[in-house]
Amino acid sequence: MTNIADTMQSLYQRFGDIPGVQIELHRSLLAIRIDNENASATVFLQGAQLSHYERKDEPPIIWCSPLNDYSEGKPLRGGIPVCWPWFGDLDKNPDIVSAKPLAKNAAAHGLARNRLWQLDAVEALNPGQTRMTLSLDLKAEQEQAWPFATHLSLEVTVGEDLRLAFNVRNHSDSTVTFSSALHTYFAVSHITQVSLEGLQGLDYIDCMLDWSHHCQQGALSIDREVDRIYLGTSRVITLQDQGWARSIAVQTEGSDSTVVWNPWNEKARRLSNFPDSAFADMLCIETANADQDCVTLEPGCSHQLAVTITGQALN
Ligand code: TA6
């Protein structure tokens, strides 16, 4: 197990000459910071977790908690956690999810966000766009909860838009099924100033109402704790923010489910690394393969879950 100093030196040797690339150490976690003409972003090797993304001279698009302590093995609160090979509470997943009979007392949102990924490539595509690729190889014999040889990769493209493409390739001899999500925490001017367009008419599972099914009527505004899995969401969802006079388009690939979550005040007080008042500053719109939208892969097959996040001024 190489130590942090060796890893940091190796990353600088490999990527330090690329314009706008910084290698950062936040307490015990290494991160790559990208700055280019259009935007800046930070991605941690732990969990391949993007923590920050903002465009020049604009309020941040991604929210990250100021209470994170950046300790090893503890996912950051905020950013875009990669949730895999199960989304949320494993016991709430469909029985077909391969980890269910294997993982006991499993932590929420799977194992990928707690692992140390490796940085494979950083490319300055042009002065305003930088792409980095991270990967994680899981060996069957090392994973009690997921004993299937699997290659994960995450491609992050930082520019006028932000795009994450999460790829899972099944290198085992078994057919496997997983659920997953790119668990995006969006920054908002104030939770009472925002609404979500593009969900109207969709079926959703309301996790606050015993996982009962409902149909979304019109745009979604948030005035309480919301924890919903929208189904059939292969269209664009738009976050309208009147306070910052902007809209954020969330376009997905390989996903037919989207989770919308805000803890509101009560749950905010119970959450770790989450300021009590921060429910007003964020809204999760999570690009997922959740519940019935879970993914089954034959040996040798792969699946890509991707999201493109585009901000524009409200006209
Ligand atoms: O995606 C919504 C959710 O499952 C919520 O129920 C809440 O638990 C949130 O994820 C945060 O999960 P975490 O494990 O990061 O605290």
Q: CB–CB of 171/300 below 8 Å?
A: yes
User: Measured in angstroms, how far is the CA atom of residue 274 from the centroid of ligand 1?
Assistant: 12
- Cα 6 to Cα 2: distance, rounded to the nearest angstrom: 6
At 2 the pLDDT is 63
Using a 6 Å CB cutoff, which residues line ligand 1? 88, 108-109, 183, 227, 259, 261, 284, 286
At 24 the pLDDT is 96
**Phi and psi, residue 208, nearest 5°:** -90, -15
Alpha carbon nearest to ligand 1 atom 14, residue: 108
At 256 the pLDDT is 97
Alpha carbon nearest to ligand 1 atom 3, residue: 88
At 39 the pLDDT is 98
pTM for the full predicted model: 0.97
Burial 208-232 (b: 16+ CB within 10 A, else e): eeeeeeeebeeebebeebbbbbbbe
Residue 178 buriedness (CB in 10 A; 0-12 / 13-18 / 19+): buried
User: Measured in angstroms, how far is the CA atom of residue 119 from the centroid of ligand 1?
Assistant: 26
In tens digits, the chain (315 residues) has pLDDT values of 568 889 999 999 999 999 999 999 999 999 999 999 999 999 999 999 999 999 999 999 999 999 999 999 999 999 999 999 999 999 999 999 999 999 988 999 999 999 999 999 999 999 999 999 999 999 998 889 999 999 999 999 999 999 999 999 999 999 999 999 999 999 999 999 999 999 999 999 999 999 999 999 999 999 999 999 999 998 899 999 999 999 999 999 999 999 999 999 999 999 999 999 999 999 999 999 999 999 999 999 999 999 999 999 987
Provide CB contacts within 8 A for 49, sequence distance 6+.
43, 75, 76, 79, 80, 81, 82, 113
Give me the chain's average pLDDT, please.
96
Ligand 1 pocket: which of 211, 255, 284 to mutate (most atoms <8 Å of CB)? 284
User: Measured in angstroms, how far is the CA atom of residue 261 from the centroid of ligand 1?
Assistant: 8
CA angle 141-143-147, nearest 5°? 70
At 308 the pLDDT is 98
